[in-house]
Chain A
């Protein structure tokens, strides 16, 4: 049978096995957590993670949910390596959100929707950028930033996005994220987890909360339209503008990421103590399941939702949707079944806006303070003929950021971070400008005819990205988030070249025809101001970054300026000439004189005589413009 030799070999092998096993046993005993196993919980994470600072506390405390509910991994394991296998470091990140925040019993409805949100998809930025690069025919393509980041052979436009814009969306992960949001989490955590204090060596677990502070919004939204900055009363400037700072600058400060900024008046809502989420609804921020191309399509709240007149309000409903009910439940609140509530554009309840003894009151979502909401007064300013197409912000936006001298160039010899590759790759985009400004915005016309603030969206030259050079002069519609209680003055629109989209320069209204002389003409076209969007009385209006968005066309400019001619003498809104301005114009004659000796500019009379006027712009191009 078995030989003695084989038995001896087996004995030696067995002894060797026992010896090696003893080593494994020693290592095992050393690597297991020493903390007590939490009683009644089927998790062992806390046997190692014993520090109280590692607990998010609140509704997501480890005593309530454990750790694996959010971070996955293997909570039953005793050893670190096994316990951390499959661990999601950034809980809530979108690729695993269905297993973490979106798991059954937690927030499946919200998690399912968030991937459809514009903050996750970034489709507006992608479409406009690639359209400007001439790569796609439409500004509404719906292409997502994820697709751009995953492109195997990226186009110049995609490279531009990957190197400059790809680090700010909900799908970013730590280590591959724009500096501006380095402290934010990913996916759900980008908003619902307090910012990481990078300088804190204890690395405490930030709290997880339904209440979203403005600091989470600030990182991404302090770029591009810079609405977070404007809301806070800040305006970014270039370092070279610090001394001396631009005119309306109250003080120079530094943003968290080091950019210099000017302090000025904050938005009136900010001054009242309101945060971003007091206005913006969950369907805007987390998506509503519908894929939308641009920010303004995603936004649901309107000024009228809070400040609209109390009478004739058709936008009413009750708190019936599951997510709003969840939100109220989380906050320990409820609504009487029959209590009516105002709704956003698509029917989402503004649940924090409630009737009060004095009208309406808004409960601040962060600290539950009650803020009175004043309805829009039904005065002459708000009933003025000819202003029906104006959005609220067209008059109430106190300022907007401007960067009209951007130049973007591609340097193939430079190396720059690629958010698609997750590391530096050859080639870099370099952006520079002559400085930022902040002032009353220009006015533009949306496709539906509404007049809204417009800011330089892409006044830029693109040179050398493997494609042909190109120049663009596009303005973008913007809700600047710099609302002032007082509207801008009549002159700031009707006698302002900037408001008309002409840029900085001198408007002449007293001659045979209106004239405009730019302070600094554009390099390629002397009739245009360098910071302008369009020319005076253009044959075709300036283009925007949205389909159908344009500058005021020639008849609109003429109407605006005609009013402007009269403003120096008829400054008050209660002046009789404004009751029926068309009638007032019809009474004018060449001999008409104002009480102060002003003569009537002849081009106004033309408009009255035959409803059209022949005007000559600075580029000597004639146009016949109707006035109706």
Chain B
């Protein structure tokens, strides 16, 4: 069911990665639904261990869920680059553009939520970092942290709720609104599914060490966050915690303003966004080097 009339052919020059992203979202949601009965936030690590080693094909469905989410992120990012390259951002109305841009932080939040639900040593370390960043936001920080991460320190219950509920519903809603259809097309869904299956089978997904499983489990190694936030983690090694929310906010603003900028300003904004990504990559490399030491 379409929410809006189909765009003219010339108005859809942004490649097919957007549709593929929707396909990945569908695979991700479906595999997530399959995992839900086996996950309990009260016994988060136990649930993951059971999925990973105790249930037939549990590891596969978990990997399917994870790789489809990564596929969603990469396809969405690729789609954004296609849009900017084709200069088609003005085909969307202002509010719709901003809503589409907001898909990115929403998607990252959903993915980060999934990372935290692993409840292994890295996830257990990531949760307080996330809370600390949120709480650093002036005025609304403390409440936002309670809303997103819950009141109980170290309890992934609220994150579970948002990961499986609020974030997913919003993602689907914004994506379907943006794509002009409630469901992804069959071909994209099949392609996304097959890619996810191929990755889930051939690149097994590891689970980190249990928190407090002994010093030798993590001795000498830095606990790393999710790969898509390594740049931010690297920046926070030296920079103040405010960078944790100012950085992403800056990128969202840069992308959002692109829709309203004239030619020179647009070039400047794109240059700034590129610089942001370059810095992010640099911080990622530095963090990885630190972790390797």
Contacts and interface: CB of A to CB of B under 8 A. Distances in A.
* Most A CB within 10 A of own CB, among B16, B194, B209, B216: B194
A50 interface: no
A303 interface: no
B214 A99 contact: yes
Interface in A3-59: 6-7, 10-11, 13-14, 16-22, 24-25, 28-29, 31-32, 42, 44
B163 interface: no
**B49, B59, B190, B199 interface centre (most CB from chain A within 10 Å):** B49
A603 interface: no
A82 B56 contact: no
A73 interface: yes
Nearest to A100: B214
A20 to B, nearest CB: 4
Given A1-B19, A86-B216, A96-B214, A17 B197 contact: yes
B49 A82 contact: yes
Contacts of B50: 78
Contacts of A16: 198, 201-202
A85 B209 contact: yes
A99 B209 contact: no
Nearest to B219: A86
Nearest to B50: A78
A256 B202 CA distance: 55
Interface residues on A, range: 35 or more
A14 B197 CA distance: 5
A79 interface: yes
B52 interface: yes
A32 B50 CA distance: 11
B248 interface: no
B213 A72 contact: yes
A79 B191 contact: no
A100 to B, nearest CB: 9
A73 B190 contact: no
A23 to B, nearest CB: 9
Contact of A32 (B19, B54, B194): B54
Given A24-B204, A32-B54, A86-B216, A14 B193 contact: yes
B69 to A, nearest CB: 16
B56 A25 contact: yes
Given A24-B204, A28-B53, A32-B54, A86 B198 contact: no
Contacts of A28: 53, 59
A2 B187 contact: yes
A18 B187 contact: no
B194 A14 contact: yes
A19 B213 contact: no
A97 to B, nearest CB: 11
A39 to B, nearest CB: 15
Interface in A95-118: 95-96, 99
A99 B215 contact: yes
B50 to A, nearest CB: 7
B157 to A, nearest CB: 18
Nearest to B45: A76
Contacts of A328: none
* Most chain B CB inside 10 Å of its own CB: which residue of A22, A73, A82, A87: A82
Contacts of B214: 72-73, 85-88, 96, 99
A74 interface: yes
A255 interface: no
Contacts of A82: 49, 52-53, 207
Contacts of A78: 49-50, 52-54
Contacts of A74: 49, 209-210, 213, 217
Contacts of A72: 212-214
Contact of A7 (B45, B190, B210, B213): B190
Nearest to A8: B194
Contact of A25 (B16, B60, B202, B215): B60
A18 B190 CA distance: 15
A341 B141 CA distance: 60
A24 B202 CA distance: 9
A79 B45 CA distance: 14
A506 interface: no
B195 interface: yes
Most chain A CB inside 10 Å of its own CB: which residue of B46, B191, B198, B209: B198
Given A7-B190, A28-B53, A20 B215 contact: no
A77 interface: yes
A14 B196 CA distance: 8
A1 B43 CA distance: 44
A42 B213 contact: no
A99 B217 contact: no
Nearest to B187: A2
A93 to B, nearest CB: 11
A385 B27 CA distance: 98
Interface in A524-545: none
13 contacts: A1-B16, A1-B187, A13-B194, A20-B201, A21-B57, A24-B60, A24-B201, A25-B57, A72-B213, A74-B49, A75-B210, A86-B210, A86-B217
Interface of A: 1-2, 6-7, 10-11, 13-14, 16-22, 24-25, 28-29, 31-32, 42, 44, 72-79, 82, 85-88, 95-96, 99
